[in-house]
Amino acid sequence: MEPIVNEASSTSSKPKEKSYSGYVITGTLAGVVFGIHLIAGPFITPALRRICLPFVPATEEQVENVFRALKGRKGKFVDLGSGDGRLVREAAKRNFTAHGVEMNIWLVLYSKFKTYRQGLSSKATYSRTDLWKHSLKQYDNIVIFGVQNMMKELEKKIIAECKEDVRVVACRFPLPNIEPEAEIGSDVNTVWLYKIPKT
Ligand SMILES: C[S@@+](CC[C@H](N)C(=O)[O-])C[C@H]1O[C@@H](n2cnc3c(N)ncnc32)[C@H](O)[C@@H]1O
């Protein structure tokens, strides 16, 4: 007796297998793309903002110059766009009460982790905040490593919000209208120290 071959079921099982592996491949690819987007996105999105301020960490010399500029100062310190938190941790080591304001969630998490590992969490904190929306009125010392096209707007914000006797240190790019008290270092490591005139 001839075996009965059910053609309908034998042909329909093959496409089913294909579509299952298709789902697996598509799902895996989607997961990979999503993962890349999740991790790389915060590093790429600054390029899409009105003012593009990418993550470029301060050099050792720049860090040293910032604290030479702030020699003898104390109180509250903020780094606007704190990156991996290196300036904030250094400020905490030098007895400032230090805070970092940073938009990139991964850099905030990394900063918090490294700060915890170094036992500095009581003196150094971070928030995932837009520096343009962060009030400056509580700080005695403000540091910014920015880009040239943001300095005019930032200068206005600082003048409008900061308290008396604050000192501002600008790294690499100076404030455009205020005369600095001091200029420290050279080339890309130059920092400018400002006492902000109150109107
Ligand atoms: C030039 S890096 C300086 C990093 C750090 N201050 C240092 O000196 O090592 C600028 C940082 O600002 C962050 N940033 C860019 N736009 C921002 C915004 N609107 N608010 C807060 N942080 C911002 C970037 O993610 C980047 O980490």
Confidence class of residue 193 from pLDDT cuts 50, 70 and 90? very high
pLDDT in tens, 44-92: 776 667 788 999 999 999 999 999 999 999 999 999 999 999 999 999 9
pLDDT at position 131 is 97
Identity (one letter) of the amino acid at 64? Answer: E
Residues in the ligand 1 pocket, defined by CB under 6 Å: 46, 53, 55-58, 79, 81-83, 86-87, 101-104, 107, 130-132, 145
Distance 185 CA to ligand 1 centre (A): 21
Q: Cβ distance 168 to 194 under 8 Å?
A: yes
DSSP assignment letter at 59: P
pLDDT in tens, 30-52: 888 888 877 777 777 766 677 88
Q: What is the pTM of this model?
A: 0.84
CA 100 to chain CA centroid, Å, is: 9
Neighbouring residues of 114: CB distance < 8 A, sequence distance ≥ 6: 84, 85, 89
pLDDT in tens, 111-164: 999 999 999 999 999 999 999 999 999 999 999 999 999 999 999 999 999 999
Confidence class of residue 25 from pLDDT cuts 50, 70 and 90? confident
Out of 52, 78, 102, give the residue to mutate to test ligand 1, the one with the largest number of ligand atoms within 8 Å of its CB.
102
- Could you give the CA distance from residue 71 to residue 69 in angstroms, rounded to a whole number? 6
pLDDT at position 41 is 73
DSSP β-bridge partners for residue 144: 80, 170
pLDDT at position 4 is 54
Report the side by side order of strands in the sheet with 191-195.
Answer: 124-128, 97-102, 76-80, 141-145, 167-171, 191-195, 182-184
Distance 25 CA to ligand 1 centre (A): 37
Distance 42 CA to ligand 1 centre (A): 11
Distance 81 CA to ligand 1 centre (A): 3
Q: 1 pLDDT exceeds 70?
A: no
Average pLDDT for 157-180: 97
- Could you give the CA distance from residue 5 to residue 13 in angstroms, rounded to a whole number? 13
Q: Give the strand pairing for 182-184 and 141-145.
A: unpaired
Distance 129 CA to ligand 1 centre (A): 10
Q: Check residues 7 and 104 and name the one with the higher pLDDT.
A: 104
Confidence class of residue 16 from pLDDT cuts 50, 70 and 90? low
Q: 199 pLDDT exceeds 80?
A: no
pLDDT at position 86 is 98
pLDDT at position 14 is 57
DSSP β-bridge partners for residue 168: 142, 194
In DSSP notation, 110-141 reads HHHHHHHHTT-TTTEEEEE--GGGS--TT-SE
Nearest CA to ligand 1 atom 19: 130
Nearest CA to ligand 1 atom 24: 55
